[in-house]
Amino acid sequence: MVVVTGQNKVSGNPDDAMSSSDAEDDFQEPATPTATQAGQALPLLPQQFPEVVPLNVGGMYFTTRLSTLRRYEDTMLSAMFSGRHYIPTDSEGRYFIDRDGTYFGDILNFLRAGDLPPRERVRSVYKEAQYYSIGPLLDNLEDIQPLKGEKVRQAFLGLMPYYKDHLERIIEIAKLRAMQRKARFAKLKVCVFKEEMPITPYECPHFNSLRFERSESETKLFEHHCEVDVSFGPWEAVADVYDLLHCIVTDLSDRGITVDHQCIGVCDKHLINHYYCKRPIYEFKITWW
């Protein structure tokens, strides 16, 4: 029997013709895919989001428009819901964000209508705005209290050398003394002084002029360290000693440390002639429980 395929003729000679089994083997032999073909086999499609987006933020549920989440381009939320990244869903199909959702409602309110949180939540919402990289919200929060006042306070503390290191030293000394004595509280002495040059009451009216008239060798005669645990100062600003004391107590309290302080006198160290130190000394009492 002769089979005609197109213009070619195949004779019935078994030596010249291909057997059916050989033809099947040739047909079933897999071809090696090219790199282009492999890439086209499993295309990476962007994630599609509905116009109304259900959210699960750390176990708290929210619903908002997709356009709200994309309100500002350079934010984490805009990037997350751009379709370029995969976001998992919970058992109910809500898009899951692994973050505490306590203040996420305030984030959404700003994205929706520019609303700002009440004063008592400003610091916490600011922290969330930093996480989600919402620049416009950060700018607005920094311009209201209490963050606006904090910027002014930090500008003052920026003049204070080793301020944070001294705070840590207060904590470490108080903890060590309390543990050594098995006591509920510990006391330590802290010197807070604004002026670099020690003075006596007789110098006060002419302090500025006397300060600059002293030679370098004379100045060294006044250099000393008060016998205290920690010393803050000097600094050049309108803010005075009581302002710095307020900062110290506030920052310790923010770390959960109970602190009381009172002035117990001045440093009476004699320097030269009628000059004495006269820097104020404060007793800090740190209560641990």
Domain boundaries, the chain: 52-144, 158-201+224-287
Mean pLDDT of 109-134: 97
CATH 3.90.550.10 is the classification of domain 52-144: no
CA distance 64 to 75: 16
Give the pLDDT score at 38.
Answer: 43
Neighbours of 183 (CB within 10 A): 12
First to last CA, the chain: 106
Would the pLDDT of 78 be above 80?
yes
Mean pLDDT of 50-75: 96
Mean pLDDT of 226-249: 92
Residue that wins the pLDDT comparison between 165 and 195: 165
Give the pLDDT score at 211.
Answer: 43
Give the pLDDT score at 274.
Answer: 67
Whole-prediction pTM: 0.65
Establish how many alpha carbons lie within 13 A of residue 146's alpha carbon, considering only the half-sphere containing its beta carbon.
10
Give the pLDDT score at 110.
Answer: 98
Handedness of CA 154, 160, 163, 165 (dihedral sign): positive
Per-residue burial over 57-82, b if 16 or more Cβ lie within 10 Å, else e, is beeeebebeeebbbbbeebebbbbbe
Give the pLDDT score at 35.
Answer: 44
* Residues forming beta bridges with residue 190, ordered by sequence position: 230, 282
Mean pLDDT of 219-234: 77
Q: Which of 68-82, 87-101, 177-191, 269-283 bottoms out in mean pLDDT, i.e. has the lowest?
A: 269-283
Burial of 192 (0-12, 13-18, 19+ CB in 10 A): buried
Would the pLDDT of 51 be above 70?
yes
Would the pLDDT of 95 be above 80?
yes
Residues 216-226: tens digit of each pLDDT: 555 555 566 78
List of residues 6+ apart from 120 with CB closer than 8 A: none
CA distance 132 to 10: 74
